[in-house]
Structure 1
Amino acid sequence: MPSTGPDPSVSTQAQEAREALGARLRGFRKDAGFASGRAFALATGWAESKVSRIENGKQNASEQDIRTWCSTTSRGDQVDDLIATVRHIDELWLEWRRQLATGAEKRQKAALPVYSKTKVFRIWHPTLIWGTLQTAEYAAETFKQVRDYYEIPDDTEAATAKRLERQQYLYRGDRIFNVLLAEQALYTNLGGAEVMKGQLDRLLAVMRLARLSLGIVPRSAPMRIWPGNSFSMFDDKLVLVETYSAEFSVTQPREIELYAKAFALLQQSAVYGTAVRDRILTAIQHFDRMPADQEARQ
């Protein structure tokens, strides 16, 4: 999913509300005499992991989950209040379509203050080129897909311009950019051969920047951790994770530590320097050889 930029305030509220709900439900469980999540799972027929995830704010509780929880703990008088809480969390949780209701430009603009305050970036993307390193043509292709997939207003030109504003931070201040891409990102075809070759040329140019560390995880590299979703770390304060349906911000220190650990493990599978250059040049040759009939279908 192409990055549209974090909005940490709303998604942080959602996570905090979910954790507070989980703590409240944990109290109900203990008050009802279920000393462990395992005992409660046996009583409800749920997996123990589900109980743990709900209590620790790792999983949204459904309205039916609330009814079951309250029935099992003899707290039926709390059902209406807790269901209202669940609905409030659902409203806070960031759905892409809601964020993009007026187009993509607004979300791009929202990213700029976060970028301006960040000193150290850690970026992982297993399939696409990171937004701040994109060419205008490549970025426009991502926004066209966003437009079509979420059926939102077409403001591709304005959104692209706003995304490109982020590139100023590559050249200003004392920021450090640690960017990891899976090799697949060099081949994910957005816009056809000419767009891809232009984007790959752009990578060759920016990788010379002293403040940018660009690593590529080869397709056959031994992995110390599964690739997972793309994520962006902004110092040690915020992690933005993206899915097809939503973006969410991680602000809990213990969870940020997990993403930092994941990034370090991914780095162990990456190559740098000349090896990156060689892989980019090989990808350019791939698009040079793309048959004309295949290009025409793009």
Structure 2
Amino acid sequence: MTTDYQQAREALGVRLRELRMSARDGRLTGARLALLLGWSQPKISKLENGKQTATPEDLQAWADATGHPDAYGELLARLKGFESHIRSWRRRLAAGHQPVQQAIAAEYERSAVVHGFESVTVPGILQTADYARSVFTRYAELQRSPRDTEDAVRARLRRQELLYDGTKRFNILIGETALRALICPPAVLAAQLDRLAGLVGLDTVALGIIPLTASLKIPPTGGFWIHDDRLVMVETWHAELWIDDADPIALYLRTWRTLRESAVHGADAHRLIADARRTVLPL
């Protein structure tokens, strides 16, 4: 959890405490407010001390119970302000993977230039249906989210139509590990590598692969995606970060450019893909 996020959550907690202390019918104790709301007293404490993220329903109930129903709009705006940056997978996947894919696709449609990096998996924008199906199935098991695999696959594949839009540019770096990681059956990975080979040379896609033997100026970490100069998306195990501050965006772009110095393109990238395919599933 980032410092900015935690500070914003604590600031919301301070505001909730202010509303409780200035309740219309007189100061409310935490125990009394918990009784009115039918909550446990620890929940009141956690919300006020920034230890738990409130839901919109929590905020509405708090505003009503303290006699400040007009404060709900302000509280909701605070919540949306910091949740727009860190989006819990638990909440985002509550309705399955398809809505998440549709939200991501909307950002791709808005973007003219996309810079992306993935170290150990083939990026979603380049995945075959079978590869995507394996990924969605495994993540649904991990996150215990609704199984809407086929809808999610269709949504992901529709996004790939943007690869053929001449007004867009995709600058994508992949670690060689992604060419060999068996997160799917070997035959599926072989077909995925054929797909990648076919994208080398596409005029809207600059596909670079960082060889395992490359000299690296910085150690690569998790993947990230930069949309123009307005947004960076970073996936972690617990959440998806949406970063729209200028300085961090500039840092991610510098990181991408530094990683690119270790990548190979064109014929050399094609050779790495072919070598990996022969290893995964010999012809």
What TM-score does the superposition give when structure 2 sets the normalisation length?
Answer: 0.73
Residues 42-83 of structure 1: CA deviation (Å, up to 9, x unaligned): xxxxxxxxxxxxxxxxxxxxxxxxxxxxxxxxxxxxx99962
Distance in structure 1 (CA, Å) of the matches to 2:219 and 2:97: 30
Aligned residue pairs total: 224
User: Paired residue for 1:154?
Assistant: 147
Question: Could you tell me how far 1:168 is from its partner in structure 2?
Answer: 0.9
1:230 aligns with 2:223: yes
8 Å contact from structure 2 (residues 116, 172) kept in 1: yes
Paired amino acid for 2:108: Y
1:210 aligns with 2:203: yes
1:195 aligns with 2:188: yes
Distance in structure 2 (CA, Å) of the matches to 1:205 and 1:127: 20
1:143 aligns with 2:145: no
Distance in structure 2 (CA, Å) of the matches to 1:240 and 1:176: 17
- Give the fraction of aligned pairs with identical amino acids, expressed as a percent: 32
SS at 2:87's partner residue? coil
User: Paired residue for 2:280?
Assistant: 287
Residues 25-58 of structure 1: CA deviation (Å, up to 9, x unaligned): xxxxxxxxxxxxxxxxxxxxxxxxxxxxxxxxxx
Paired amino acid for 2:245: Q
Question: Could you tell me how far 1:289 is from its partner in structure 2?
Answer: 4.2
User: Paired residue for 2:245?
Assistant: 252
Counterpart of 1:272 (choices 238, 245, 265) is 265
Question: Could you tell me how far 1:113 is from its partner in structure 2?
Answer: 1.6
Residues 190-230 of structure 1: CA deviation (Å, up to 9, x unaligned): 22111011000000111221111000001121111110110
CA 1:153–1:213 in 2, change beyond 3 Å: closer, same or farther? same
Alpha-carbon RMSD: 2.7
Select the structure with the greater relative contact order (CA < 8 A; seq sep ≥ 6).
1
SS at 1:229's partner residue? coil
8 Å contact from structure 2 (residues 46, 52) kept in 1: no
User: Paired residue for 2:49?
Assistant: 83
CA 1:17–1:244 in 2, change beyond 3 Å: closer, same or farther? closer
Paired amino acid for 2:49: I
Matches within 5 A, 1:164-175: 164-175=157-168
> Once structures 1 and 2 are overlaid, which stretch shifts more, 91-100 or 275-284?
91-100
Matches within 5 A, 1:88-127: 88=54, 92=83, 93-127=86-120
Distance in structure 1 (CA, Å) of the matches to 2:88 and 2:8: 21
SS at 2:208's partner residue? strand
Question: Could you tell me how far 1:109 is from its partner in structure 2?
Answer: 1.1
Question: Could you tell me how far 1:282 is from its partner in structure 2?
Answer: 0.4
User: Paired residue for 1:130?
Assistant: 123
SS at 1:94's partner residue? strand
Question: Could you tell me how far 1:103 is from its partner in structure 2?
Answer: 1.2
CA 1:179–1:87 in 2, change beyond 3 Å: closer, same or farther? same
> Gapped runs of 5+ residues in structure 2?
13-44, 55-78
CA 1:80–1:209 in 2, change beyond 3 Å: closer, same or farther? closer
Residues 142-195 of structure 1: CA deviation (Å, up to 9, x unaligned): 000011111112111110000001111111241111000000000111221110
> Gapped runs of 5+ residues in structure 1?
1-10, 25-78, 291-298
Distance in structure 2 (CA, Å) of the matches to 1:224 and 1:231: 18
Which segments of structure 1 move beyond 4 Å, counting only runs of 4 or more? 14-24, 79-82, 88-91
What TM-score does the superposition give when structure 1 sets the normalisation length?
Answer: 0.69
Distance in structure 2 (CA, Å) of the matches to 1:197 and 1:176: 26
1:219 aligns with 2:185: no
1:184 aligns with 2:177: yes
Question: Could you tell me how far 1:107 is from its partner in structure 2?
Answer: 0.6
